[in-house]
Amino acid sequence: MSVVAVRAEISKGIRDRLKTITDANGYCTNVKEVYFDKIPMGLALRQDKLPAILLIQGVDNVSRTELGGCLIGDWELELQLWHCGNIGDCEMNRFEADVFRAIYANSATAQTNSQYRKIHPKIERMNPDRIIPDLNMMEANRVSIVFFRISYRTQLFDL
Q: Give 23-82 pLDDT, tens digit per residue.
A: 999 999 999 999 987 776 655 577 888 999 999 988 888 887 666 678 888 999 999 999
pLDDT at 87: 86
Helices (H), 62-153: 89-104
Confidence of residue 137 (pLDDT cuts 50, 70, 90): low
For residue range 100-128, list pLDDT tens digits in order.
999 999 888 888 888 998 999 999 999 99
pLDDT at 23: 94
Domains of the chain, residue spans: 3-158
Q: Are 85 and 92 in contact (CB under 8 A)?
A: no
pLDDT at 156: 64
- CATH fold group of domain 3-158: Alpha-Beta Plaits (3.30.70)
Those residues whose C-beta lies under 8 Å from the C-beta of residue 150, and which sit 6 or more positions away, are 10, 73, 74, 75, 76, 77, 123, 125, 126
Global pTM reads 0.88
Residue 25 and residue 92: Cα distance in Å, rounded? 18
Residue 3 and residue 1: Cα distance in Å, rounded? 7
Percent of the chain with pLDDT over 70: 86
